[in-house]
Amino acid sequence: MSMRKVIIVHAPEAEALRQELLENGLLDFDRKIRTSTINGKLFLELPVIAGFKGMETVEQDSPEYYRKARSLKERLYGLMPEEDLELIPSGWQVLGDIIVVSIDDRIEDRKHLIAEKLLEMYPSCRTVVRDLGIQGQFRKPRRELLAGSSTETIHKENKCLFKLDVTKVMFSKGNLYEKKLMSTVGSDEIIVDMFAGIGYFSIPIAVHAKPRKILAIEINPESFFYLRENVSLNHAESIVEARNGDCANFTPENIADRVIMGYVGTTHHYLEYGIRAIKKEGGMLHYHETTPESLVFERPVSRIREVASREGRKVEIRECRKVKKYSPGVWHVVVDAWIC
């Protein structure tokens, strides 16, 4: 590393000199100001780009540089053809100490280089996996290990801890607003969380709202394993009861002040079970669905009304929200409906 100039000044005089150097544009902002002790007195090494007022400058040995934040593209510049740089990912997920990234098939041969540079950008991370989509009834992620070894991590979100293996279960950061919103409701209530996953909604509600009881139902054995782990990790054993099975068979009737149906895909097939779970005197249903843009709230609302009518229940729509774009022309939406 090349040597750079510093002015060594007695600590009590350092601030005044630093201000003068700053005003004259002579401070070197790439290097850190260091301290040293000479004959028991504290001195500061002020990095400069040129001499000042005839003051003595010396070469600084092993200077310390500020780390400049560089983008992934900047880090890969010169290591890939320029046309390939246009294909590198512009975003990724950081879950605990694991980076999950999608990589274009056209730069498949650069995937390990991209993983290496991502780890440089995130020194606290130890693993990079490539996201290849989801498969099957349980929406299991298809992922390829690019760097590191362990794919299990603990992710912290909204003061809650989520343990998961990123190759076995999904974790979406895209609906953070919805999870935060749910963490503010349900105090002193009985809640049924259908399709609970690893506790995406159950854990924040248990930690922040302190309901009387949450019955969390999850069919996927791997998700259920981490659901139980997360209940324990967040000290919510007295609040959350986890059940492993199909919501059609494990959802109780006439007990809930609030029901969460936080899955998308075939959720509407389970609406009757969600509505039956709500107390006869009334309760709130949070119904999630993926809906074409042209039917964005019309379809989920009509489905709720139709099933409720069939069950002899009344519906009052309280709120409709878009969570995020699910795919081109399709939205993930939530309808809050009071059922009585």
Q: What's the chain's length in residues?
A: 340
Query: What number of CA atoms fall less than 13 Å from residue 283's CA on the CB side?
Result: 24
Q: Is residue 160 part of a domain?
A: no
Q: Label the pairing between strands 258-261 and 240-244.
A: unpaired
161 in a structural domain = no
Q: Are 223 and 327 part of one and the same domain?
A: yes
- Which of 95, 110, 68, 93 shows the shortest CA–CA distance to 156? 95
Residues 10 and 41 in one domain: yes
Q: Which domain holds residue 17?
A: 4-60
Record the pTM.
Answer: 0.77
Domain identity same for 222 and 114: no
7-25 tens-digit pLDDT = 999 999 999 898 888 877 8
Q: What is the pLDDT of residues 26-39, one digit of tens each?
A: 888 878 899 988 88
Which residues of the chain fall below pLDDT 50?
Answer: 1-2
223 with 253, same domain: the answer is yes
CATH number of the domain that residue 98 is part of = 3.30.300.110
Q: Is residue 297 part of a domain?
A: yes
